[in-house]
Amino acid sequence: MELTIGSSVPVSEFVDSTGVKRSLIGNKTVLYFYPKDNTPGCTSQACNLNENLDYLASKGYQVLGASVDSNKSHDKFIAKFQLKFPLISDESHEIVEAFGVWVEKSMYGKSYMGIARTTFLINEKGIITDIITKVDTKNHTEQIR
């Protein structure tokens, strides 16, 4: 089933890279899926959100980032860029597949599976209120209402 605005989140709890359980129920959430730690676009996106974390918090949002990278990779990424929000490791692909962001991609004529950079805005009841698929990594916070 493809997720749309108004859909309930298919997974409502996660364990972040530090072992803390995070919930999408009871919190307004910016849940963003990104391809890979320490790549230019992913770094720009994470740093933009991090620099605007106080603004997002003033709007009531918690920020969670997710990729299929390992917790060890996430911990290094968080430390290197002093990120103040948690990252979710989904090495099993359970979450990325449930949210429909694990897709076939192609580069230089070669097909492969990967994450479609996507941000879901979720209300306190776990309902998707917006889906951002054309992410401006350097100015992502401006896309979040």
Instruction: Judge whether 128 and 52 are in contact, CB under 8 Å.
Output: no
CA 84 to CA 12: how far, in whole Å?
Answer: 21
Q: Which of 30, 42, 63, 88 is catalytic?
A: 42
42 is catalytic: yes
The dihedral over CA atoms of 142, 126, 96, 51, expressed in degrees to the nearest 10, equals 30
CA 65 to CA 119: how far, in whole Å?
Answer: 9
Catalytic center residues = 42
